Amino acid sequence: MSKPLPRYVVFGEALTDMVLQADGSWLSLPGGSCWNVARVGARLGIDTAFAGAVSQDLFGDALARATEEAGLDMRFLQRVERSPFLAFIASRHPPQYFFVGDDSADLHFEPARLPQGWRQAAEVIHFGSISLVRQPLAARLCEEATQAAAAGKRIAFDPNYRELMSAQGYGETLAHMLRLASYVKISDEDLAGLFPALPLDAALTQVRAMAPNATIMLTRGADGLTLLQSDNVVEQPAFQVNVADTVGCGDAAMGGWIAAVLSEPRADLAGQAQLAAAAAAVAASHAGAYAPLRRELEGLVAMPRRSA
């Protein structure tokens, strides 16, 4: 009997973070915002796939191993004979980084190669980050989002602002994805980058107008998060933990939020906000981009039961 197709499909980039160490050496770590989001969904017990392409060299091997170890559906990961996509991180505070991957593997992802019937099986489909800036991948993913929304699927979107989005005419893509979205996760830093001329409140109002059908999660780091749905507003403080670093906390919040939505469809906004904040807190208590397990969240919040 074949394995069921996943309920949660995350499109986007998987890459290798090259992190500068104190001794001047570089540490390579599997990463990428969308890939991190997918890992969180899988580790929290949701049937999840990461839909993207990685190289066939040692960097791609490491990403493929980590993908399988997280419990993601390997039928959605494509291996191609292209160079790896690398992010060189010279400093995290303040952030200093650059990307290497002019014709790298991620850009050669082919949606037509995905398992037959995947879209019918999926319930929530995620898009975001720099995969929606890098062509020709961005155009393919925008088309996938359009088709999924037309098929009645719920679209999750996290812009995850990077400087690339200022330089490459990202505004049209942002507007398109916000129009389609059912769930939008956006940080205060994203709002400042995407709408530099607007104060935070005005930028959030703009996003809500551009995403009229979406529930929106605003994250503010140590100041917690807010869930907004029509006239309902839920404030969720950050959980207090010993912080190792904040790498991947936003991805954990996104994955934790959708895990709550899919684990218990009747969960109210307060329950969703608690699980998202708990996932971010657990991620913050580990060094690097960490994907929490369900049991690790249970000490912070009551986990919703899994639905069939």
pLDDT given at position 306: 47
- Per-domain residue ranges of the chain: 1-99
For residue 251, pLDDT over 70 is answered with yes
pTM of this structure:
0.92
Query: 118-158 pLDDT, tens per residue?
Result: 999 999 999 999 999 999 999 999 999 999 999 999 999 99
Integer Cα distance of 276 and 10 in angstroms: 17
DSSP annotation of 14 reads -
pLDDT value of residue 96 = 74
DSSP structural state of residue 264: -
pLDDT tens per residue, range 87-108: 888 776 666 778 888 999 999 9
Residue 202, pLDDT > 70, answer yes
Q: Of all residues in the chain, what percent carry a pLDDT higher than 70? A: 94
CA distance 248 to 99: 17
Question: Would strands 95-100 and 86-92 be described as parallel, antiparallel, or unpaired?
Answer: antiparallel
Has residue 160 got a pLDDT over 50? Answer: yes
Beta strands in the chain (DSSP E): 8-11, 15-20, 26-31, 48-55, 77-80, 86-92, 95-100, 124-128, 154-158, 183-187, 215-219, 225-229, 232-236
On the question of pLDDT at 86 being above 80, the answer is yes
pLDDT, position 180: 97
| Better-scored residue on pLDDT, 28 or 202 | 202
Q: Of 159, 172, 184, 207, which is closest to residue 12 (Cα–Cα)?
A: 159
**CATH for 1-99?**
3.40.1190.30
What's the pLDDT band for 10 if we cut at 50, 70, 90?
A: very high
Q: Could you tell me the pLDDT band of residue 163, with boundaries at 50, 70 and 90?
A: confident
Question: Collapsing DSSP states into helix, strand and coil, what is residue 77?
Answer: strand
